[in-house]
Amino acid sequence: MTTQTELSDRMFRRTGGVDRQQGLGAITRITKMAFRYPGRAILAMVATIAAVAMQLSIPVLLGRAVDLTQAIAAEAADPGPLITVALTLLGVSVLRGLFTLAQNYSAESVGHALARDLRGAIYDKIQRLPFSFHDRTHSGDLITVGMLDLEGVRMYFSTALVRTVLLALLIGFGAWQLISTDPLMGVLALSFVPFAAWRSSVMQLTLRRTWLVLQEKLGVLSQVMEENLAGIRVVRAFAAANHEMDKFDRASKMALDLSHERVDVRVKSTSAMTLAFFTAMGLVLLVGGRRVAAGEITVGTLAEFLTFMTILQMPVRQLGLMVNAYARASTCGARLFLLLDMPVEIDDAPDAKPLEITEGTLKLENVGFAYPGTGEQKAVAGIGFEARRGETIGIVGPPGSGKTTLMHLIPRYYDASDGAISIDGQDIREVTLSSVRQAVAVVQQDSFLFTTSIENNIAYAHPRTDARRIRGVSESAQLHDYVLGLPRQYSTIVGERGVSLSGGQRQRLSIARTLMMEPAVLIFDDSTAAIDAGTESRIRAALRKYASSRVTLIVAHRLASLMHADRIVFLENGRIVEQGNHEELLALGGRYKALHDLQMRPDGDVLDEMEDAR
């Protein structure tokens, strides 16, 4: 069975990783999806056939017009038939333009409708994929799938499928028309087609391959620029401007060299195709001119051959674009469908019902978890405790002891590998995911804020809430006084990722946003690390009214943040090694006491005590 990790790796191999079967499957699937809009798709096909019929009529009418003109000039014949042919040619040209317009419009319409549906499906899928997927997937890769790969799929109907019908009819019926008129001249007129088609296809496939590599080079260039701008103060402080310029020049030169290679490929291929076309046209003129002089064909017939060659020149060159469109749709579609078909590991169980909160009791029973790809090594193991409504549980331990991992299991960001987590006796894996996320709220370490107003950030969980409630949670998070000092108060835009706020202000805003949810279980995952001790103390005092009606879990490195907890759990290497209240753990004289003494009395003796405790 293919794991989600393997699917992710295959999906984001930009220059390979898609086999022929996947590519053909993607082409078939895109074609079926395009005909979900039958009216527009059929209109595009019918308009294409009609446009080809009009296109093939133009050389015949031009040839007829040339013969009539010659006859009028030689014999002073009635110009009426020539006027009729001219008007017919004008009408056919107008119809060809209208049918081409209908073809382009309807084909593009199908592509954009398909892109709209896929864009929504991709966005919905990304919302439902678990944290484990996002842990190993760069956001830039997902944006690439949602933009570049989606664009490759969008263009398939108009640039590949419709163009295939157009070129097949145009070349097929045109060749039959010419060869049936004069086999030798027909073969000469079409002699440039195989070479031009081959060169065009090679050129487009080469350009596509080098385009993917160029995208990677430009990505490196962008990364160098972004890193430099983000760390510009460090660059200036270490006088490293010349070093940064060297890095930029190397990345820029690689992209420039590849761009020159692409220009070279395009110019050489275009020149070769143009030479082949004019060589074929010269042969037709040579043979046709002799036959006109011998009276075997008319000048109009020769004009018909030359006109058809001129009409055929551009579509034949587009054969490469058509081949490229198929290649691009197969690779882009395969990656896109790998994402859409990826199983959602954390989802609602069959017949899952919403979580019902009665007593508000949280219980962990022998809980264990290992991250994907780490084998048997567990981040947490054998974790068990119970917390009732109104209780506050502190979680402490050295870095890497599994504190955050354990907190992420409770709202089902990940599913426990062993044991069970329940709320009021209901296993969280057997109730709806949305109800679990509403019942369990986590104030994250990373205080991510949206580029909108302070008010909208706080009210994110309940956008239609009233201003009084927003003010209430802001006061509890010790944010209200700061907001009142801003020029636009709660309407102030915080900037991208909250860049206009300090770390402590972002954390306080994140706390206020979480309090809006009024969850049954409230988790603070080291969420006051950037807040000064005085403000943190005032926040704790304000949160007591919230803590009385729910379970509160506090993860912290500063013991002052959780000494007031009803129970403190000390984690080490993913396991509980000590638990009790503050006084009990100090009396125990173990790891908690050593950490307490280190924070309250940082000297060498305490370090020795910690080693002894181990």
Average pLDDT over residues 568-589: 84
Nearest Cα neighbor of 342 from 115, 23, 9, 20 is 9
Q: pLDDT tens digits for 6-64?
A: 545 555 554 445 555 666 778 888 888 888 888 888 999 999 999 988 888 888 888 88
392-396 sheet: strands from edge to edge: 440-443, 521-525, 551-555, 392-396, 567-572, 575-580
Confidence of residue 557 (pLDDT cuts 50, 70, 90): confident
Q: pLDDT tens digits for 253-283?
A: 887 887 888 788 778 887 888 888 888 888 8
Q: What is the DSSP letter of 610?
A: H
CB 371 within 8 A of CB 131: no
pLDDT at 449 (0 to 100): 73
3-state SS of 395-411 is: EECCCCCCHHHHHHHCC
Q: pLDDT tens digits for 361-396?
A: 888 888 888 877 666 678 888 888 888 888 888 888
pLDDT at 135 (0 to 100): 60
Confidence of residue 604 (pLDDT cuts 50, 70, 90): very low
Structure tokens at 183: 């086999």
Confidence of residue 98 (pLDDT cuts 50, 70, 90): very high
pLDDT at 496 (0 to 100): 53
Structure tokens at 64: 């007829």
Nearest Cα neighbor of 342 from 125, 21, 18 is 125
pLDDT value at 159 more than 80: yes
Residue 565 to residue 106: CA distance in whole angstroms: 66
Amino acid identity for residue 201 in this structure:
S
Structure tokens at 333: 């579609």
Residue 565 burial class via C-beta count within 10 angstroms: exposed 0-12, middle 13-18, buried 19 and up: buried
CATH 3.40.50.300 residue ranges for the chain: 362-580
CATH 1.20.1560.10 residue ranges for the chain: 9-341
Q: pLDDT tens digits for 187-246?
A: 888 888 888 878 877 777 777 777 767 766 766 777 677 677 767 777 777 777 787 788
CB 305 within 8 A of CB 288: yes
Q: pLDDT tens digits for 522-547?
A: 888 776 655 666 666 667 766 677 77
Q: Of 495 and 182, which is predicted with more confidence?
A: 182
Q: Give me the torsion for CA of 281, 287, 291, 294, rounded to 10°.
A: 130
Q: Which residues, in sequence order, are bridge partners of residue 418?
A: 368
Average pLDDT over residues 334-343: 79
Residue 215 to residue 28: CA distance in whole angstroms: 27
CB 401 within 8 A of CB 572: yes
Residue 169 to residue 162: CA distance in whole angstroms: 11
Structure tokens at 491: 């309407």
CB 417 within 8 A of CB 583: no
Q: Centre a 10 Å sphere on the Cβ of residue 3 and count the other Cβ atoms it contains.
A: 12
Which residue is listed with tokens 């006859």? Answer: 71
Which residue is listed with tokens 């279980």? Answer: 521
CB 363 within 8 A of CB 123: no
Average pLDDT over residues 591-600: 79
Residue 474 to residue 490: CA distance in whole angstroms: 10
User: Which of 11-15, 47-51, 344-348, 584-588 is least confident?
Assistant: 11-15
Which residue is listed with tokens 């402080």? Answer: 237
Residue 320 to residue 311: CA distance in whole angstroms: 17
Q: pLDDT tens digits for 118-148?
A: 888 888 887 777 766 766 666 666 676 766 7
Q: pLDDT tens digits for 436-490?
A: 888 888 887 767 777 777 778 777 777 777 777 888 777 777 777 777 777 777 7
pLDDT at 610 (0 to 100): 47
User: Which of 176-190, 192-206, 598-612 is least confident?
Assistant: 598-612
pLDDT at 94 (0 to 100): 92
Q: Of 140 and 153, which is predicted with more confidence?
A: 153
Q: What is the DSSP letter of 614?
A: -
Q: Is the dihedral of CA 204, 207, 213, 216 positive or negative?
A: negative
The domain 9-341: what is its CATH number?
Answer: 1.20.1560.10
Residue 43 to residue 54: CA distance in whole angstroms: 16
Q: pLDDT tens digits for 465-479?
A: 777 788 877 777 777
CB 496 within 8 A of CB 451: yes
pLDDT value at 309 more than 50: yes
Q: Residue 58 contacts by C-beta under 8 Å, 6 or more apart in sequence?
A: 89, 92, 93, 96, 307, 311
Q: Of 187 and 504, which is predicted with more confidence?
A: 187
User: Which of 304-318, 352-366, 380-394 is least confident?
Assistant: 304-318
Q: Give me the torsion for CA of 444, 448, 450, 452, rounded to 10°.
A: 90
Q: How many helices (H) and strands (E) does the chain have?
A: 25, 10
Q: Centre a 10 Å sphere on the Cβ of residue 138 and count the other Cβ atoms it contains.
A: 10
Structure tokens at 604: 């060498």
Length of the chain: 614
CATH superfamily, domain at 362-580: P-loop containing nucleotide triphosphate hydrolases (3.40.50.300)
Residue 532 to residue 535: CA distance in whole angstroms: 6
User: Which of 79-93, 175-189, 351-365, 596-610 is least confident?
Assistant: 596-610
Residue 174 to residue 397: CA distance in whole angstroms: 80
Q: In the chain, what percentage of residues exceed pLDDT 90?
A: 2
Residue 246 to residue 224: CA distance in whole angstroms: 11
What is the Rg, in whole angstroms, of the alpha carbon atoms belonging to the chain? 36
pLDDT value at 294 more than 70: yes
